[in-house]
Chain A
Amino acid sequence: VPAWIAFGALFLFGAALYNTMVRRRNRVRMAAASVDVMLKRRWDLIPNLVEAVKGYAAHERAVLEAVTAARARALSAPLSLPEKASLDRVVAPGIRTLVALAEGYPELKASEGFLRLQGALNEAEEQVAAARRAYNAAVTSFNDGCGTFPLRLAAAAMGLEPMELFEAAPPERDLPSGSTRDGSAP
């Protein structure tokens, strides 16, 4: 085999490996951007939730404050995705606790505004869950590339390291009626 053909084949092989890893990394970045958008959408609902339940949350003041502080921290400075994930692990169960308050207050539970807010929170939770699953699928594909031959060669040459998965918030304990029934953690 002439040397130039062997060299050409080797070059094309290397380029294919390189492009595959670039595509996988871009998919992770795109998925991370989606997670960001969905988290922000959920965090943007927090002031409305706090406003709706503050009159009923005397026993849950600590939760109220923790959720509000977590949101303020998320908006105060640019955070990395793992930092946002860790904040969301405080926010998600906090939101569930506050929504569950309505169970004890029929007038709150029946209020049209609260029902709408509850629907929006449920939707936001499912959107975050979907974005998280898409992100984890992209990271798993990227990490597979970093750990398996021959993509591993390209990953090493590009200095790519395996990434962390986006861990979900702890599973719900007492699911309020009208909350998500899908078993998908946020």
Chain B
Amino acid sequence: VKGCFAVAAAAAAALAAALLSSDLDRTALLAALAPFVAAGAVSAVLSSRYKKAFKAAVVPALLDGIAPGLEYRPEGYLDESEFTGCRMFRRPDRYSGNDLVRGRVGRTDVRFSLVHAEERQETSRTDSDGRTQSETTWSTIFRGLLFSADFNKEFRGETRVLSGSPGILSGLLPGLVTLESPEFESFFTVRSTDPVEARYILTPSLMERIVALRRKFDAKGTCLSFVASRVHVAVPMGTDAFEPSLRRPADDPATTAAIAETLDSILDIVADLDLDTRIWTKR
């Protein structure tokens, strides 16, 4: 990567020389830019390889220290069907992700990954000659952590804990469940197919835990859903949470510590939501 930067620097010097020369022509300019492009491409390939190698070596070791037995796939991610099936987001037109972790924490089956879901937006505009041109842009539906774990109680319906307190018009859409905790209601709006089941899931204690979880990640847009006896937690963040910084050496303890802290706080969701307590009929 450093070599690429050197090539880029040399190319910059060549470009400067070309620009300063009086007989500047297009060929000279292209010749000056070519090393830039080549250096950029090589740099991208090298940094991608470096990140992959770093993650493959470091993340499994960190996971082993936190919760042994978890499987890690740097390029894997939760299925699009799981993203759509958790009922928190619209169906995306483009979906990708990385850093899939799955396995058991105590008795609780967990899986999570960083995902990026986008939707296509077509815009058309007419130029001065009357020609219409369409343009495709991509807007992000969700980018961040999608965490899914086996919930410790059985339920049949769908309960969604969406970000943002209920507004005046929230009651117009079906399924609004008003709960007793004003603090919880200041962060979330609950919608459910069954109001009794929503309260069976969202006990006063779990509501407190969810508020604490929201504070821990301190991410606006954090939301949860309870579907098919699993809890899904979505926390907006980048998709590079487990990647090393290119500006620091690979053995920099701060880089590893930051990744370990992120992994720890994600796996701690099991304890945060008390998912490993199995005192009901579900074992």
Contacts and interface: CB of A to CB of B under 8 A. Distances in A.
B206 interface: yes
Contacts of A137: 178-180, 195
Interface in B148-202: 153, 178-180, 195-200
A68 interface: no
Contacts, number: 60
A119 B203 contact: no
Given A31-B196, A126-B153, A130-B197, A181 B279 contact: yes
A130 B199 contact: yes
Interface residues of A, number: 24
Nearest to B154: A123
B204 A182 contact: yes
A97 interface: no
B210 to A, nearest CB: 13
A180 B196 contact: no
A122 B279 contact: yes
Given A181-B274, A182-B206, A116 B281 contact: yes
Interface size class of B (residues with CB under 8 A): 20 to 34
Max count, chain B CB within 10 A of own CB: residue among A129, A130, A137:
A130
A134 interface: yes
Interface in A99-143: 116, 118-120, 122-123, 126-127, 129-131, 133-134, 137
Contact of A120 (B195, B277, B281): B281
A140 B180 CA distance: 11
A100 B205 CA distance: 22
B204 A134 contact: no
Nearest to A138: B195
B280 A133 contact: no
A179 B179 CA distance: 24
A183 B196 contact: no
19 contacts: A119-B279, A119-B283, A122-B280, A123-B280, A126-B200, A126-B203, A127-B196, A130-B199, A130-B200, A133-B180, A133-B199, A134-B195, A137-B179, A180-B279, A181-B274, A181-B277, A182-B206, A184-B204, A184-B205
